[in-house]
Structure 1
Amino acid sequence: MVGLLQAQATQEGYTLTALPGVRLLRSDRPLARTPVLYDPGIVIVCQGVKRGYMGAKVYQYDAQHYLAVSVPVP
């Protein structure tokens, strides 16, 4: 799976796909904590780990855990 995604996302940053509303994010290094607003959707991490922070709560998702967002959340 990782090899297939690397072939689609050849450089860091967002890559649009042929599927409407589906995009890939590639990062080859840790990213600093940045405030974001998640729109409704699903985030699937295929390699590595992603952490989201809301107040003192830490949400971690990785290749074994996904994030599903049903309403916009910071």
Structure 2
Amino acid sequence: MTTAQIIYEQYKVLPKRIRQELKLLINSEDEAEKPFSLMEDIEQGLNEVKLIRKGKLPRRTFADLKREMNDAK
């Protein structure tokens, strides 16, 4: 039996209200995680470069990025 089959079997025995809540939760997470397309990522990066050149966005070094990542942990 695959993991998906096991999960489905467990899902079937849940009360109807809980199944509906689970569906809503899964759907809301799928909508929230709309991935950017590669083109959108490139356009965003180019816009940031333009802002840096105009002096409207501070320059960030690789060391700054590493420090930000460590602070986020």
- Which TM-score tier does this pair reach, normalised by the shorter chain? under 0.3
TM-score (norm 1): 0.19
Q: Which has the higher contact order (CA 8 A, sep 6+)?
A: 1
The TM-score, its normalising length taken from structure 2, stands at: 0.19
More strand, by proportion = 1
- Indicate the structure (1 or 2) with the bigger Cα radius of gyration: 2
